[in-house]
Structure 1
Amino acid sequence: MQKSLIAEFLGTFWLVFGGCGSAVLAAAFPELGIGFTGVALAFGLTVLTMAYAVGGISGGHFNPAVTLGLTVAGKFSKGQLVPYVIAQVAGAIVAAGVLYIIASGKAGFELGEFAANGYGEHSPGGYSLMSALAIEVVLSLFFIMIILGSTSSRVPAGFAPIAIGLALTLIHLISIPVTKTSVNPARSTGQALFVGGWALQQLWLFWLAPLVGGALGGIVWKAVGDEK
Structure 2
Amino acid sequence: MEGKEEDVRLGANKFSERQPIGTAAQTQDKDYKEPPPAPLFEPGELQSWSFYRAGIAEFMATFLFLYITILTVMGVVKSPSKCSTVGIQGIAWAFGGMIFALVYCTAGISGGHINPAVTFGLLLARKLSLTRALFYMVMQCLGAICGAGVVKGFQKGIYESNGGGANVVAPGYTKGDGLGAEIIGTFVLVYTVFSATDAKRNARDSHVPILAPLPIGFAVFLVHLATIPITGTGINPARSLGAAIIYDKDHAWDDQRGRKMEGKEEDVRLGANKFSERQPIGTAAQTQDKDYKEPPPAPLFEPGELQSWSFYRAGIAEFMATFLFLYITILTVMGVVKSPSKCSTVGIQGIAWAFGGMIFALVYCTAGISGGHINPAVTFGLLLAGKLSLTRALFYMVMQCLGAICGAGVVKGFQKGLYESNGGGANVVAPGYTKGDGLGAEIIGTFVLVYTVFSATDAKRSARDSHVPILAPLPIGFAVFLVHLATIPITGTGINPARSLGAAIIYNRDHAWDDQWIFWVGPFIGAALAALYHQVVIRAIPFKSRP
Fold in common (TM above 0.5)? yes
Structure 2 residue runs of 5 or longer lacking an equivalent are 1-310, 463-467, 542-547
Q: CA deviation at 1:195?
A: 2.4
Among residues 154, 161, 180, which one is paired with 2:461 in the alignment? 154
Among residues 196, 200, 203, which one is paired with 2:513 in the alignment? 200
Among residues 397, 400, 422, which one is paired with 1:88 in the alignment? 400
Matched residue, 1:10? 320
Deviations, residues 111-160 of structure 1 (Å, cap 9, x unaligned): 331111001xxx1x532111000010011112111001001132633111
CA distance in structure 1 between the aligned counterparts of 2:322 and 2:420, rounded to whole angstroms: 25
CA distance in structure 2 between the aligned counterparts of 1:39 and 1:72, rounded to whole angstroms: 31
CA distance in structure 1 between the aligned counterparts of 2:390 and 2:516, rounded to whole angstroms: 25
Corresponding residue SS for 1:61: coil
CA distance in structure 2 between the aligned counterparts of 1:196 and 1:217, rounded to whole angstroms: 32
Deviations, residues 168-197 of structure 1 (Å, cap 9, x unaligned): 000100100000000000000111112224
CA distance in structure 2 between the aligned counterparts of 1:126 and 1:101, rounded to whole angstroms: 32
Amino acid at match of 1:64: P
Corresponding residue SS for 1:200: coil
**Structure 1 range deviating more: 14-23 or 89-98:** 14-23
Corresponding residue SS for 2:313: helix
**Alignment length (residue pairs):** 222
CA distance in structure 1 between the aligned counterparts of 2:331 and 2:388, rounded to whole angstroms: 30
Contact 2:338 2:422 in 1 (8 A): no
Contact 1:71 1:78 in 2 (8 A): yes
Matched residue, 1:23? 333
Matched residue, 1:138? 444
CA distance in structure 1 between the aligned counterparts of 2:337 and 2:506, rounded to whole angstroms: 19
Matched residue, 1:220? 533
Contact 1:118 1:202 in 2 (8 A): yes
Which structure shows the higher helix fraction?
A: 1
CA distance in structure 1 between the aligned counterparts of 2:479 and 2:447, rounded to whole angstroms: 12
Q: CA deviation at 1:103?
A: 2.0
Q: CA deviation at 1:27?
A: 4.6
Amino acid at match of 2:528: A
CA distance in structure 2 between the aligned counterparts of 1:150 and 1:159, rounded to whole angstroms: 8
Amino acid at match of 1:132: G
Q: Does 1:129 align with 2:435?
A: yes
CA distance in structure 2 between the aligned counterparts of 1:78 and 1:90, rounded to whole angstroms: 18
Matched residue, 1:68? 380
CA distance in structure 1 between the aligned counterparts of 2:374 and 2:392, rounded to whole angstroms: 13
Contact 2:334 2:422 in 1 (8 A): no
Matched residue, 1:41? 353
Amino acid at match of 2:453: I
Taking structure 2 as the reference length, the TM-score comes to: 0.39
Quick one: structure 1 residues 196 and 157, their matched pair in 2 at CA, closer, same or farther if it must change by over 3 Å? closer
Amino acid at match of 1:213: G
Structure 1 residue runs of 5 or longer lacking an equivalent are none
Amino acid at match of 1:206: F
Contact 1:10 1:91 in 2 (8 A): yes
CA distance in structure 2 between the aligned counterparts of 1:172 and 1:9, rounded to whole angstroms: 22
CA distance in structure 2 between the aligned counterparts of 1:105 and 1:113, rounded to whole angstroms: 11
Matched residue, 1:51? 363
Higher radius of gyration, 1 or 2: 2
Q: Does 1:164 align with 2:470?
A: no
Contact 1:27 1:39 in 2 (8 A): no
Q: CA deviation at 1:19?
A: 1.5
CA distance in structure 2 between the aligned counterparts of 1:225 and 1:77, rounded to whole angstroms: 23
Quick one: structure 1 residues 20 and 227, their matched pair in 2 at CA, closer, same or farther if it must change by over 3 Å? farther
Contact 1:96 1:194 in 2 (8 A): yes
**Structure 1 range deviating more: 200-209 or 55-64:** 200-209
CA distance in structure 2 between the aligned counterparts of 1:112 and 1:70, rounded to whole angstroms: 35
CA distance in structure 1 between the aligned counterparts of 2:538 and 2:328, rounded to whole angstroms: 32
Q: CA deviation at 1:78?
A: 2.1
Q: CA deviation at 1:215?
A: 1.3
**Structure 1 range deviating more: 73-82 or 167-176:** 73-82
Cα RMSD for the two superposed structures: 1.7
Corresponding residue SS for 2:369: helix
